[in-house]
């Protein structure tokens, strides 16, 4: 079997991740922050260690400004629904995932004003186009760091710098880039960073987070959920301190333990080395697909402007048929369709059919890419 669906979730997980989760359940299965006994204290230590490591990984010295969430969608919704109000103006792009578009559209129906900056057919975008869309009443800019459809990397640092000059905060969706591309919130002028743990960070599903930069007042965000936090239990009002005000209910301790181990694995490999490996895979994949008659590859020509996510279509064939035959006949696992990002597919001209998405990852080999190319050629030829 060849697994090429890392843009959905990385697999297999490093053995260290599964071992950390097993060890947590066996040796530290208490409820972190909820009791004073040894199991609770040990669970709390593991959660805080992961919080501290992740904050530093993204360029923040204060780990309390990292909020653990079940996934990146929850983190994005925390900001979008907790910070924006009817009448506010928001700027986003034509390559966004539904994790951004659906909550924005729901708020638009209640009076939010939304500007969607068009991207080029390859998914690229000029930072100046974003700035030109800003208004005096713009409250937030939301940008996808890299597309989950074409892998197109947007100029987040430039957008952040220009948005800050205009006094507008920047929220970045790093679902596709956390653990794959270097991210430094301060250097890239990112105020709010939403990430998921189960993709490039090699952690388990059910993990993610929101990082709140030093220049952003977290008190402007209303919590999505209120309840027990293990702190200030004498009050029936939600505590205001970070991260407690955004972390109600029992945390996913075992998942966070796995996420911490996944991050350690990534750091041991090195983000630069991971990026170099994925660029090599992407180059082989893109060049090979372009050489197959009838195949159209989407995304930037310059491979430095894309992650290892590659979408294609074949003339005269439905993407569902291609995906089915790759799976059934060649045991190559990919994803077809709209990838929860209809806006991106409208931008690249593949709506409503979508594309076949091949997304290699950390464990993918060049030999597997070659085998995949041979299989695609046979499927398309028939």
pLDDT of residue 366: 98
The yes-or-no verdict on residue 232 having pLDDT over 90 is no
Look at strands 113-117 and 89-93 and give their pairing.
parallel
Residues of the chain with CATH 3.40.640.10: 15-268
The yes-or-no verdict on residue 52 having pLDDT over 90 is yes
Which residues are designated catalytic?
340
pLDDT of residue 341: 98
User: How does pLDDT run across 241-270, given as a tens digit for each residue?
Assistant: 999 999 999 999 999 999 999 999 999 999
Backbone angles phi, psi at 211, to 5 degrees: -105, 135
The yes-or-no verdict on residue 311 having pLDDT over 90 is yes
User: How does pLDDT run across 142-178, given as a tens digit for each residue?
Assistant: 999 999 999 999 999 999 999 999 999 999 999 999 9
Residues of the chain with CATH 3.90.1150.10: 2-10+270-381
Q: Write down the pTM of the prediction.
A: 0.97
Average pLDDT over residues 183-189: 98
- Per the prediction, the chain carries an average pLDDT of 97
pLDDT of residue 29: 84
Which overall architecture, per CATH, does domain 15-268 show?
Answer: 3-Layer(aba) Sandwich (3.40)
The yes-or-no verdict on residue 231 having pLDDT over 90 is no
Q: Which CATH number fits domain 2-10+270-381: 3.90.230.10, 3.90.1150.10, 3.30.470.10, 3.40.228.10?
A: 3.90.1150.10
Run of H or E residues at 328? helix 319-330
Can you tell me the distance from the alpha carbon of 144 to that of 142, in angstroms, rounded to the nearest whole number?
Answer: 7
Q: Which residue is associated with the tokens 């990292």?
A: 66
Sign of CA dihedral 62, 68, 72, 77: negative
What percentage of the chain carries pLDDT values higher than 70? 100
- Please give the structure tokens belonging to residue 149: 């459809």
pLDDT of residue 33: 83
Average pLDDT over residues 306-323: 98
User: How does pLDDT run across 70-128, given as a tens digit for each residue?
Assistant: 999 999 999 999 999 999 999 999 999 999 999 999 999 999 999 999 999 999 999 99
- Residue scoring higher pLDDT (231 or 157): 157
Q: Which residue is associated with the tokens 């990397």?
A: 153
- Cβ partners under 8 Å of residue 230, min gap 6: 31, 32, 33, 34, 244
Can you tell me the distance from the alpha carbon of 232 to that of 255, in angstroms, rounded to the nearest whole number?
Answer: 25
Other Cβ atoms within 10 Å of 227 Cβ, number:
10
CA distances from 42 to 21, 25, 34, 47, 259 (A): 13, 11, 12, 9, 16
User: How does pLDDT run across 289-302, given as a tens digit for each residue?
Assistant: 999 999 999 999 99
Contact assessment for residue 156 and residue 177, using Cβ atoms and an 8 Å cutoff = no
The yes-or-no verdict on residue 322 having pLDDT over 90 is yes
Helix (H, G, I), strand (E, B) or coil at 366: helix
């Amino acid at each position: 079997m060849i697994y090429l669906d890392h843009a959905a979730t990385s697999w297999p997980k490093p053995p260290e991740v599964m071992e950390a989760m097993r060890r947590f359940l066996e040796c530290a299965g208490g409820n972190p922050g909820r009791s004073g006994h040894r199991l609770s204290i040990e669970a709390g230590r593991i959660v805080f260690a992961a919080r501290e490591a992740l904050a530093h990984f993204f360029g923040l010295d204060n780990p309390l400004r990292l909020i653990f969430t079940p996934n990146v969608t929850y983190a994005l919704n925390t900001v979008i629904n907790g910070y924006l109000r009817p009448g506010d103006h928001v700027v986003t792009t034509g390559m966004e995932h539904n994790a951004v578009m659906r909550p924005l559209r729901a708020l638009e129906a209640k009076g939010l004003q939304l500007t969607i900056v068009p991207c080029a057919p390859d998914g690229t975008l000029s930072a100046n186009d974003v700035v030109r869309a800003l208004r005096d009443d713009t409250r937030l800019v939301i940008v996808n760091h890299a597309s989950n459809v074409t892998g197109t990397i947007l100029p987040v640092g430039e957008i952040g710098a220009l948005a800050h000059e205009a006094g507008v905060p920047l929220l970045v969706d790093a679902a596709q880039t956390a653990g794959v591309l270097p991210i430094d919130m301060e250097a890239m002028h990112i105020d709010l960073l939403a990430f998921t743990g189960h993709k490039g960070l090699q952690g388990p599903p059910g993990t993610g987070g929101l990082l709140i930069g030093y220049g952003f007042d977290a008190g402007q965000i209303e919590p999505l959920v209120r309840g027990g936090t293990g702190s200030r239990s004498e009050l029936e009002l939600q505590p205001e301190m970070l991260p407690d005000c955004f972390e109600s209910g029992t945390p996913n301790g075992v998942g966070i333990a796995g996420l911490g181990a996944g991050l350690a694995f990534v750091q041991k490999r090195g983000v630069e080395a991971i990026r170099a490996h994925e660029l090599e895979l992407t180059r082989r994949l893109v060049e090979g697909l372009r050489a197959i008659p009838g195949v159209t590859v989407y995304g930037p020509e310059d491979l430095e402007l894309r992650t290892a996510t590659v979408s294609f279509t074949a003339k005269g064939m439905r993407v569902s048929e291609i995906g089915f035959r790759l799976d059934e006949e060649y045991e190559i696992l990919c994803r077809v369709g709209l990838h929860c990002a209809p806006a991106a597919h409208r931008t690249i001209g593949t709506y409503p059919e979508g594309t076949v998405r091949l997304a290699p990852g950390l464990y993918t080999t060049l030999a597997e890419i070659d085998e995949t190319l041979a299989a695609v050629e046979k499927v398309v030829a028939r």
